[in-house]
Amino acid sequence: MTASAKLGVLEDRSILVQPVATEDLAERIGTLLADGPSGHTELGGPEVFRFEELARQWQRARGTKRPGLPIRIPGKAGRELRAGAFTTSAKLAGIRTWRDYLAATY
């Protein structure tokens, strides 16, 4: 067991994340390959979460009670992550939700 597994989830609680299902991503990649070069594209999941919320839901689904250990990613990278660098406002979004993933996986 790794040290992080014993300690709990390390989290910058304010980071915004937009998880996308691998199936949705694979479908999008297949479409892009079939359509040929098209330039820049983005894909995000249908929901945006603060990392803290995502981690809590994951822990509940797994049945673990390890605490979240708050960290703060410093500097420009931390500011950009907290401002939504892991999210997209693109109209194209996956359809499988985080809750669907948790229900199917755990």
Confidence of residue 33 (pLDDT cuts 50, 70, 90): very high
Q: What is the mean pLDDT of residues 37-57?
A: 89
Higher pLDDT, residue 13 or 76: 76
Half-sphere exposure of 1 (CA within 13 A, CB side): 6
Helices (H), the chain: 3-7, 22-35, 51-62, 75-82, 98-105
Confidence of residue 5 (pLDDT cuts 50, 70, 90): low
Q: What is the mean pLDDT of residues 59-70?
A: 85
Confidence of residue 93 (pLDDT cuts 50, 70, 90): confident
Q: What is the percent of the chain where pLDDT is above 90?
A: 55
